[in-house]
Amino acid sequence: VGKYIEERSKGKTSDAVKKLMDLSPKTALVLRDDTETEISVDEIVPGDIIIVKPGGRIPVDGVITEGNAVVDQSALTGESIPLEKTIGDTLMSASINKTGSFRMRATKVGSDTTLAKIIALVEDASASKAPIAKLADKISAVFVPIVIIIALVSTAVWLVLGSSFEFALSIGISVLVISCPCALGLATPVAIMVATGRNATRGILIKSAEALEIAHSVDTVVLDKTGTVTEGLPSVTEVIPLNGVNSDELVRVAASIEKMSEHPLAQAIVKYAVEKSYVLSLTENFSAVPGRGVTADISGEKCFAGNAAYMADNNIDVTAVKNEVGRLSAEGKTPMYFASNDKLLGIIAVADTIRQTSIEAVRQLGDMGLDIVMLTGDNSATTEAIRKQLGINKVVSDVLPSEKESVIRSLQEDGKRVAMIGDGINDSPALVRADVGLAIGAGTDIAIESAGIVLMKNDLRDAAELFRYSKITIRNIKQNLFWAFFYNTLGIPLAAGVFYPLFGLTLNPMIGAAAMSVSSIFVVTNALRLYNTPSHKKS
């Protein structure tokens, strides 16, 4: 019976994986030689043009090349709201096309698709062992020979005391049967399988049992600002020209300098200029200093774009805009300076919107007693406005991308158990350095590689849910281990006949076998309760 319940539990905890496997369509409509051909999904190669019709599932990862779509990604991310997609937008395999037909170009196929990686992660996590499980294995390795010795000694003692061989042998067999470490062996793996399966259905991918166990002991959470706390989609809010330059000219020059930069703030300015239909100038000798700014030559003039420190590095006076910069920073906006040769052309303010769910997530993390630290490359004045909105006590500002890892290391040297939450791109060194890394957002290889846990939805509340659930899971495992030890502590003396001289109590081997099964059933049933643990995340 115990074995049956165990197998049923394994089947239930792997339901999430089976459902994910069933999401992938078996065939796809591919355009080859200007002809629509239905082929097996396994035959798709990167670069193939795929036609996806209304109601159809997207077979592989790719980008839209023609048409628009409203895509349901809930099976992968747990996000119930469909997303609008247009030309150039990325698509995840197994998502459902809710509207008209569109064409897409395959970029990742086979085991490289998002769906395949999710399945592999869940399977690996279910099979992995947490440190607490390894401890149980070590105990079992010692426990088994001790039990054999107890069984032999018990048999010998009763023979010496004059009992019949049948009675003494029954005592020895009872000790062996009732002390079978089945419950001890099931205490951790079943709980881990349930936890990883349950979280996978909610868009939280736990890569290993070790990451889940470490998460329960975290006392400090470090948040990257851009893309984690905020939307990661900054936009231009103000244009302030100086020294005889008009707004149009400032934006045109600024966008011309920034068009080669991949920084989100730079891209916001370029997008703003494109929307205004400005014609950008050709640039030469582009160079960038991470965390500072960029330089490029335009029509023979050396132009600069960056923060105040970058202007100072290039001997450009910015005192004329000191008051404006102070005002913008106090409003939570990031001022960017632009100059030509040694003349300041003006500043452009860019702001990133705080995610609606971030304030609630920070509150939940604080209620759990966790210390929260936010990292950002913004100046302290800009950061202060965001800090107040979020209710965070500690912020480390003016941090270069390369310095995030050292901030994590410093906290660890102070005895902190640190979790790092970032977007998995420029945060990868910090994600690896942290005791446990959580990458927020799906679809990036670096997120999956660098972090121990991947939050598929861009929802910081999932981090709070993960920490809460990890505590519940470890508590469940400890309950199972306690029961296994408690059961053996009582059962072995009873089976060995310790209470026979006083109360006439002995344990029949058949009853011992039944008791062992009941112990296993208790452990498995207790672990299965984790699957129905309600989420505390508000809609």
Q: 14: which 2 tokens?
A: 């792997």
> pLDDT tens digit string along 431-460?
888 899 898 875 455 556 778 888 888 889
> 492 with 178: CB under 8 angstroms?
yes
- Domain 235-351 fold is Calcium-transporting ATPase, cytoplasmic domain N (3.40.1110)
Strands 96-97 and 69-72: antiparallel
Closest by CA position to 76, among listed 95, 98, 97: 95
Evaluate if residue 232 carries a pLDDT over 80: no
CA dihedral 480→485→488→493, nearest 10 degrees, is -150
Evaluate if residue 119 carries a pLDDT over 80: no
pLDDT band at 330 (very low <50, low <70, confident <90, very high): confident
Amino acid at 266: A
Q: What is 412-446 written as a DSSP string?
A: HHTT--EEEEE-SSTTHHHHHHSSEEEEESSS-HH
Helix (H, G, I), strand (E, B) or coil at 450: helix
Number of C-beta neighbours around residue 4 at 10 A? 11
Q: Which residues contact 388 (CB under 8 A, 6 or more apart)?
A: none
Quickly list H helices, 331-403. 358-367, 380-390
Give the chain's end-to-end CA distance (angstroms, integer): 41
Q: What pLDDT score does 230 carry? A: 84
- Mean pLDDT, residues 118-130 taken together: 61
Closest by CA position to 382, among listed 366, 399, 370, 365: 399
Q: Which CATH class is domain 205-230+355-456?
A: alpha beta
Strands 436-440 and 418-422: parallel
* Residue 324 exposure: Cα atoms within 13 Å on the Cβ side: 17
Evaluate if residue 9 carries a pLDDT over 70: no
**Residues that are catalytic:** 224
Q: What dotted CATH number matches 30-113?
A: 2.70.150.10
Q: What pLDDT score does 1 carry? A: 41
Q: What pLDDT score does 45 carry? A: 94
Q: Which residues contact 323 (CB under 8 A, 6 or more apart)?
A: none
Domain locations along the chain:
30-113, 128-191+468-532, 205-230+355-456, 235-351
* Dist CA 371 CA 413 (whole Å): 16
pLDDT over 70 for what percent of the chain? 88
pTM of this prediction? 0.66
Domains 30-113 and 205-230+355-456 share a fold: no
pLDDT band at 104 (very low <50, low <70, confident <90, very high): very high
Q: 345: which 2 tokens?
A: 């052309």
What letter would DSSP give residue 534? Answer: P
> pLDDT tens digit string along 468-518?
999 999 999 888 888 877 877 778 888 888 888 877 777 788 887 787 778
* Dist CA 263 CA 255 (whole Å): 12
* Dist CA 306 CA 291 (whole Å): 9
